[in-house]
C-alpha cells in the first residue's frame, strides 16, 4: 500500500516524442497510487500532454509548469486553456512564465520586461474570457520576490523551479496570510539511489543548463551562494567543467539525491513550508520511466 496521499509529491512528466503513450500511462499509474498532481513542463508540449490528461485521467490535478508566454498569443492560449479546464472538470491549472533566454531565442521572438509582459498577458487572458470560456486557475513562475508579489496580485498560485529551500523559507513570508487558497509549488531535481554520490552527479548534470543562465545565477546569489556563483561564472568563461565547482552545500539545498528515506524527508520539508513539491525525476541507471518507477517505490 502507498502512504497517505497528502504526503506524496506532485510528479513532473515530459511527453517526449515517440514515448507519449507510455508517459500518459505513467500519469494514470500515478493517479491510481494517490499522487496529487502532474506537472507538465514545456519540453514535449505541456499543453498537448494536459489535453490528453483531461481525457485519460479522472481525478488527478495537472498543470503546466511552465508554459512560456512568448510561444503563442494570449488569445490562443486562453481558448486552449479554457478548453482543457472545461473538459477536465476543473482539474487543470495554467502555469505561465517568461521561460529562459535560450528558449526565447529559439522561438525567434523578442522578450520584453518580465513583470510587465506577464501582467499584460494575464490581462489579455482575462479580457478574452467572455469569448474563450472560463479560465483555469493561473500560476506564475516566480523565482524572485517581485514576481511572487505579482502572482499574488493577478494569479492564484506561484511556481518555483530549482529553488533554494533555505531562501524559500524567507520568501514564503511574503505570501499574505489571508491567501490560504493561493497554491505554491516547486520543481525539484530528484534522484533515488543508495549511491548518494552517483545520484548527486546526475543532479549536477541536470543543473548545468540552469547555472548557465544569468537570471538563475542572480537568484542563487540573492539566496546567499555568492562564492559558488562566482566560481561557476569563472569556470564558464574559462570553458572548464562546471559540475566540478557546484558545491554540495548549494546542490543539497536545491535538489534531492539519496535513498528513499532521504527523498521522503526532503519532499516533506517543502510541504512543511506550505509548498507542493514537484519531483522532477532522473535516474542513475535509466530514463524517465525508470526514474518515475523508482519514485513510486519510495512510497511503496
Find where cell 523565482 sits: 143
How far is it, in rounded angstroms, from Cα 15 to Cα 53? 11
pLDDT in tens, 24-61: 999 999 999 999 999 999 887 899 999 999 999 999 99
Residues paired with 190 in a beta bridge: 256, 281
pLDDT at 180: 74
The H or E element containing residue 279 is strand 276-282
* Continuous segment of H or E residues that includes residue 37: strand 37-40
How confident is residue 103, by pLDDT bands cut at 50, 70 and 90? low
Alpha-carbon distance of 260 to 257, in angstroms, equals 9
The answer to whether 253 and 188 have CB atoms below 8 angstroms apart is no
Residue range 251-280: mean pLDDT, rounded:
97
Share of the chain above pLDDT 70, in %: 93
Inter-axis angle of helices 114-127 and 74-87, nearest 10 = 60
Domains of the chain with bracketed CATH: 5-194+256-298 (3.20.20.30)
* Average pLDDT, integer, range 254-281: 97
DSSP designation for 172: G
Residues 183-190, mean pLDDT to the nearest whole number: 98
What does the block give as the cell for 134? 472560463
Q: How far apart are the first and last CA of the chain?
A: 6
Burial of residue 149 (number of CB atoms within 10 Å: 0-12, 13-18, 19+): middle
215 CB neighbour count, 10 Å cutoff: 13
Amino acid at each position: 500500500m502507498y502512504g497517505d496521499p497528502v504526503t506524496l509529491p506532485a510528479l513532473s512528466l515530459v511527453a517526449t516524442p515517440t514515448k507519449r503513450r507510455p508517459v500518459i500511462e505513467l500519469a494514470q499509474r500515478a493517479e491510481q497510487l494517490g499522487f496529487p498532481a502532474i506537472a507538465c513542463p514545456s519540453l514535449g508540449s505541456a499543453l498537448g500532454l494536459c489535453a490528453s490528461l483531461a481525457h485519460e485521467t479522472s481525478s488527478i490535478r495537472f498543470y503546466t509548469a511552465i508554459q512560456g508566454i512568448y510561444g503563442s498569443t494570449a488569445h490562443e492560449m486562453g481558448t486552449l486553456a479554457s478548453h482543457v479546464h472545461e473538459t477536465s472538470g476543473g482539474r487543470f491549472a495554467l502555469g505561465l512564465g517568461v521561460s529562459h533566454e535560450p528558449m526565447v531565442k529559439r522561438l525567434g521572438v523578442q522578450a520584453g520586461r518580465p513583470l510587465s509582459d506577464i501582467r499584460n498577458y494575464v490581462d489579455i487572458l482575462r479580457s478574452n474570457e467572455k469569448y474563450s470560456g472560463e479560465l483555469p486557475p493561473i500560476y506564475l513562475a516566480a523565482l524572485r520576490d517581485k514576481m511572487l508579489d505579482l502572482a499574488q496580485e493577478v494569479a492564484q498560485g506561484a511556481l518555483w523551479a530549482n529553488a533554494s529551500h533555505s531562501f524559500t523559507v524567507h520568501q514564503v513570508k511574503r505570501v499574505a496570510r489571508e491567501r490560504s487558497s493561493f497554491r505554491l509549488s516547486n520543481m525539484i531535481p530528484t534522484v533515488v539511489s543508495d549511491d548518494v554520490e552517483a545520484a548527486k552527479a546526475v543532479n549536477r548534470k541536470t543543473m548545468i543548463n540552469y547555472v548557465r543562465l544569468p537570471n538563475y545565477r542572480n537568484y542563487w546569489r540573492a539566496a546567499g551562494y555568492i562564492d559558488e556563483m562566482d566560481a561557476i561564472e569563472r569556470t564558464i568563461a574559462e570553458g572548464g567543467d562546471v559540475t566540478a565547482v557546484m558545491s554540495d552545500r548549494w546542490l543539497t539545498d536545491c535538489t534531492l539525491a539519496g535513498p528513499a528515506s532521504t527523498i521522503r524527508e526532503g519532499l516533506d520539508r517543502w510541504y512543511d513550508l506550505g509548498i507542493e513539491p514537484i519531483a522532477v525525476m532522473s535516474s542513475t541507471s535509466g530514463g524517465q520511466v525508470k526514474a518515475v518507477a523508482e519514485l513510486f517505490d519510495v512510497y511503496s
